[in-house]
Structure 1
Amino acid sequence: MSGNYEDIKTRLRGSIAPVVTPFKKNHDVDYEKLSELIEFQLENGSHAISVTGTSGEPSSLTVEEREKVMETTIKTVNGRVPVAPGTGSTNHAETLRLTKSAQEMGADAALVIVPYYNKPNQEALFKHFKTVADSVDIPIIVYNIPGRTAQNLEVKTLARLNEACPNIVGVKESNKDFEHVNRVLLNCGRDFLLYSGIELLCYPMLAIGGAGSISATANVLPGKIARLHDAWFEGDVETAQSLHYELMPLNDVLFKDTNPAPVKAALGMMGKIEPELRLPMDVPSRALQDEIRETLKQYGVTAQYA
């Protein structure tokens, strides 16, 4: 691929909200609620939208459902901000299909996760991502989340991909190893787009030259997450720091069970969705739901029993 990706690299900065996939009580995907959630994000200043990433429960969706979620999102956003859906899978052919579908539907970029469960070696990861990148013209953001995939994409492998594939423009690092994320920009260049997928590292990653974050907390308080990024890029370090610490209690409680169960519980309490998940995922314990409710009240959010 030999396209010019500078424009989208400029636009894909700030808070990329990873919107959950809402289900009805019968566990069908609720596409109407999905559109409402996206409007909620846009009204509150989110800089871009992602769906069918970790927060969107992609492993609980069929390929056809994932494609319809992407299509609904792109139509709802209608060009107002960039859309970067998650198109990765543990299956290589599915990843190719979904990434090509995202391009055909008009997505601005694709977020492609390290294949989970398989634990491919570094050479296999290089071949996987290069094949995906070579199959499309849209920018690719690699998604490294070793806690879920059981495999870490090493910096040297990412640097090889960056050199070999002009449309691999960035990485979402859900990696608590802050040394690792520093070395990403050292080895891939300061113009490589580095996004935090760890909530407590959203602000620190901006400080080392990051492009933004893809934070599940943006589902609940999108305005504050967007404002943190706006403040940083405006040079208002004090406000960005203050929001970083202000958000910590919410970030903590939303990850006391597996994402997106606590996030969906919070959105249910806010009256945004039915807090349904598909098995093998399930709702948080009643004790954690009570804690989420009390935490939301600290932020002035009226939380009811879902």
Structure 2
Amino acid sequence: MTDLTERFRGIFTALITPFKDGAIDYAAYDALVERQIEAGVAGLVPVGTTGEAATLSDDEAEALIARTVRLAAGRVLVMAGAGANDTKKTVEKVQRAEAAGADALLIVTPYYNKPTQAGLAAHYKAAASATRLPVMLYSVPGRCGVEIEPETCATLMKACPNIVAIKEAGGAPERITRLRAAAGDALIIHSGDDGLALPFLSLGAIGVTSVVANVAPREMVGLVNAFRKGDTATALKLHELIAELTDGMFIESNPGPVKAALALSNLAGPEMRLPMVPVSDANRDRLAGILGRFNSAASAFQEIR
């Protein structure tokens, strides 16, 4: 197993971007980052979907990446979001993220355009050729309308040695087997769906790019670590412990629910940038109940342990 593979193993938190009165709340962000590192995550993902990258300016995105690198101080890998639906803009984002000190890049499939597989291949080749950093492809058809076919992934890995990984967020565990068959076991695979973390790990994924970890980093880290040690019973218990919380994080479009949960936990505010708005009052109340049950169950689990 290569050192690079080991660096991608574990929980990578898809960080929110907290806002206050329209601006980035850096104090809250710094505290969130430190909480993640203390919980034992392997990586941090600033400026992704959960970080509301679509409504961040290029300067804000670069500043957040540089800040995350500085806060991490080499303790965890920083994989910066660097995608757009315009290849030229994606290349610019890639170059700015590298200049900001990122360790790796997460590049989403172009949204809205719905390119063919040939278009995806050309897009990713251009982006990967613009950087020396390791690249994780990001296939999320629910948001982008197109997914990266396993054969396209294999072709890209052969053409671009720095394309080494994929975040698979299509909700289909069988995709893992198809990806491994096409690209081989050198392909690093992350689950992009918290609720599928355990089945993905059992099929060959080595990590999770996690939304839930914003709220429950220790439990997510514990799940992956238990599985890695062969303690599948504990991994299953942790999967079941976070199940309702995981469902709750997606009762409205991400990151509305996770921001609401963090606000209920007094860790960050619920503010979002239009066209995203905070969750409804009814869903906020529902999340409060879910969070209360999760906290009680997590405390009981730790006492048993």
Runs of 4+ in 1 over 4 A off after TM superposition: none
Offset, 1:32? 2.3
1:31-74 CA distances to partner (integer Å, 9 max, x unpaired)?
22211110010111111111111100111111111111111111
1:120-135 to 2 correspondence within 5 Å? 120-135=115-130
Q: Which residue matches 2:163?
A: 168
TM-score, structure 2 length as denominator? 0.94
Match of 1:52, SS?
coil
Offset, 1:292? 0.5
Q: Which residue matches 1:304?
A: none
User: Which one of 185, 191, 197 corresponds to residue 190 of structure 1?
Assistant: 185
Offset, 1:199? 1.7
Match of 1:247, SS?
helix
Offset, 1:6? 3.6
Q: Which residue matches 1:138?
A: 133
Match of 1:282, SS?
coil
Q: Distance in 2 between matches of 1:35 and 1:7?
A: 28
Percent identity between the two aligned chains: 36
Q: Which residue matches 2:23?
A: 28
What amino acid maps onto 1:204 in structure 2?
P
Q: Which residue matches 1:241?
A: 236
Q: Which residue matches 2:74?
A: 79
Offset, 1:260? 0.3
What amino acid maps onto 2:83 in structure 1?
G
Q: Which residue matches 1:155?
A: 150
Q: Which residue matches 2:11?
A: 15
- Does structure 1 retain, via aligned residues, the 8 Å contact 2:176–2:205? no
Match of 1:119, SS?
coil
Q: Distance in 2 between matches of 1:286 and 1:85?
A: 32
Q: Distance in 1 between matches of 2:203 and 2:87?
A: 33
1:217-296 to 2 correspondence within 5 Å? 217-296=212-291
Q: Which residue matches 2:62?
A: 67
Offset, 1:200? 1.6
- Does structure 1 retain, via aligned residues, the 8 Å contact 2:87–2:126? no
Q: Which has the higher mean CA deviation after the structures are superposed, 101-110 or 60-69?
A: 101-110
- Does structure 2 retain, via aligned residues, the 8 Å contact 1:144–1:175? yes
Within the alignment, does 1:179 sit opposite 2:174 as a pair? yes
User: Which one of 27, 32, 39 corresponds to residue 44 of structure 1?
Assistant: 39
Offset, 1:175? 0.8
1:104-123 to 2 correspondence within 5 Å? 104-123=99-118
Match of 2:137, SS?
strand
What amino acid maps onto 1:12 in structure 2?
F
The root-mean-square deviation of aligned C-alpha atoms, in Å, is 1.3
Match of 2:80, SS?
coil
TM-score, structure 1 length as denominator? 0.94
What amino acid maps onto 2:73 in structure 1?
N
What amino acid maps onto 2:202 in structure 1?
A
Q: Which residue matches 2:294?
A: 299
Q: Distance in 2 between matches of 1:171 and 1:22?
A: 26
1:139-173 CA distances to partner (integer Å, 9 max, x unpaired)?
00000000000111111111110111111111001
What amino acid maps onto 1:73 in structure 2?
T
Q: Gaps (5+ residues) in structure 2?
A: 297-305
Match of 1:299, SS?
helix
Q: Distance in 2 between matches of 1:184 and 1:299?
A: 34
Match of 1:56, SS?
coil
Q: What is the number of equivalent residue pairs in this alignment? A: 296
Match of 2:81, SS?
coil
Offset, 1:279? 0.7
1:173-228 CA distances to partner (integer Å, 9 max, x unpaired)?
11112222321111111121110111221111100110110110010000000110
- Does structure 2 retain, via aligned residues, the 8 Å contact 1:31–1:72? no
What amino acid maps onto 2:19 in structure 1?
F
Offset, 1:300? 2.1
What amino acid maps onto 2:229 in structure 1?
E
Match of 1:110, SS?
strand
